[in-house]
Amino acid sequence: MNVEELVRDSLREQASGIAPPRSGFADRILAVRRRRRARTLAAVAGTTALVVAAAVGVPTLLDAGPDDGRGRGVHVVGGEVPAHDVQSHVDQSPPRDRIAVGDQVLAAYYTSEKVRQPNRDEIVERTYSVLNQETGRYEVDERWSFLAVAPGMRTAAVLERELPAPRIGLLDLRTGEMTRWIPLAQGVGGLAFSPDGSKLVATTYDKNPDRAYWSHKVEVNGAYEPWRVPCRTGFAVVDVATGESDWHALPAFSEGGGNFGSGENLRFNNDGTLLYEPINMNPGVVYRDFTGKKVAVPAEEAYVDLRFAPAGLSPDGKLVAGPFAGGVKTTATQVLDPRTGKRVAKLRGQELLVWVDNERLIAWDIAPGGGEHENRLVLVGIGSEKTVSLSGARTPKDHSPKRWEPVFARG
């Protein structure tokens, strides 16, 4: 039985307890398995990922087969990836001291924990550790439920613990002090800066988007788990300098069938002129203008997928980070031509997180001899078949409270 058959069987067995999956759902489940992020699309996705993991084993090595003439199986060649400007701490996980490559800095990271409520609801709570730019060490800051870092690493936008939050805070990352509060009429659950740092997109909700409700429980592996509900109300584009904002209604995406989550936070596209909304069905993303109206995908971003390849376009716009490209027992990533989607090169790693320059990226990859969850930050390069480790490996348990997720910014 192949992987797709296992996915279909797993979904079929659970069909009596949940809404049917939408078009392309099995493909996206396989992608979720490969990227291994802490964020959960749905309980079904988690269950199916376990089935797939048991069936296909643990990826360990780069798999580079011969080119078939269509850009697949391209070998990476060369030696070490250039590492003259690297600050790494391979013995630290989570990191305690500054990690950076060039001007791409690990500005913060967070851990997540599911907190059971008295009524059996669950809330995923994040705890951030933020880089102290004077000491070069990461310090826990428990004040915030959500934190986004602006380019330049002078300012972070933050939300207080109770979500949805009635205001956005602007935090001075050099002093750790609040500089200003921006009130909003609608409660905020997520934030993202524009590429130039001049704007924020604040996604608004009428319930905590990180809460799963026992009243909407679903059956998973013979037991019931609380389920998230659609609760997005819209978004506001906020001018950071003036605090002025323009709110527009935009409920959780529901076209094509039922919902498998509470909606996704919006973010800006590559040049900051549009909004990017990831969705958990084909085509995987919707581009919108600042009023919320759907617009055509920009030609140069046709193959950008920030959910499964967060690095997106290279700084010069000539390459785009692609999805997982490994095999049954191998790990590999790829970069693509942004207009054609054709593979340009195959690299090491599991997931491409951020571009350092036009030839190097920071990625997740498994530690030597480790299981698929024991991944650490590495530096990979186009034309280089070796990696440079940047951090220690994360805990082998997929949803451990100590697993950390990076927040990068250009310093």
pLDDT at 225: 94
Would you say residue 5 has pLDDT above 80? no
Contacts of 130 (CB under 8 A, 6+ apart): 107, 108, 138, 139, 141, 147, 156, 173, 176
Name the residue with higher pLDDT: 202 or 8. 202
Report the pLDDT averaged over residues 292-319: 96
Ranking 260-269, 279-288, 290-299, 345-354 by mean pLDDT, the lowest is 260-269
Asked if pLDDT for residue 89 goes beyond 90, the answer is yes
Burial tier of 246 (Cβ tally within 10 Å: 0-12, 13-18, 19+): exposed
Q: Give tens-digit pLDDT for 211-238.
A: 999 999 999 889 999 999 999 999 999 9
pLDDT at 408 > cutoff 90? yes
How far is the C-alpha of 336 from the C-alpha of 348, rounded, in Å? 14
The predicted structure's pLDDT at residue 257: 53
* Host H or E run for residue 54: helix 43-56
Interhelix angle 3-14/43-56, rounded to 10 degrees, is 140
- Distance (Å) of CA 386 to CA 62, 90, 92, 349: 10, 16, 21, 10
In three-state secondary structure terms, 14 is helix
What's the whole-number average pLDDT of the chain? 82
Mean pLDDT of 84-108: 96
* Sign of the torsion angle spanned by Cα atoms 270, 273, 279, 282: negative
Rounded Cα distance between 312 and 308, Å, is 9
Beta bridge partners of 345: 335
> Which tokens belong to 109?
């990271």
Binned at pLDDT 50, 70 and 90, residue 281 comes out as confident
User: Can you tell me the mean pLDDT for 66-81?
Assistant: 43
Per-residue pLDDT, 44: 32
Of the ranges 51-60, 118-127, 176-185, 354-363, which one carries the lowest mean pLDDT score? 51-60
Q: What angle do CA 109, 113, 117 make, to 5 degrees?
A: 145
* pLDDT above 90: percentage of residues in the chain: 67
What confidence tens digit (pLDDT) does each residue in 24-45 have? 333 333 344 333 333 333 333 3
Residue carrying structure tokens 């956005």: 168
Question: 80 pLDDT band (50/70/90 cuts)?
Answer: low
Question: Residues 307-351: pLDDT tens digits?
Answer: 999 999 999 999 999 999 998 778 999 999 999 999 999 999 999
Q: Determine if the pTM surpasses 0.75.
A: yes
Which CA distances in Å does 399 have to 14, 32, 36, 71, 378? 22, 14, 10, 35, 21
Supply the pLDDT for residue 73.
Answer: 35
Give yes or no for residue 11 having a pLDDT over 80. Answer: no
Least confident stretch, 165-169, 261-265, 380-384, 400-404: 261-265
Instruction: Return the pLDDT at 104.
Output: 98
Mean pLDDT of 190-217: 97
Percent of the chain with pLDDT over 70: 77
pLDDT, mean of residues 127-143: 97
For the segment 46-72, what is each residue's pLDDT rounded down to a tens digit? Answer: 332 322 232 223 333 343 333 333 333
Neighbour-count burial for 391-400, b at 16+ CB within 10 Å, e otherwise: bbbbeeebee
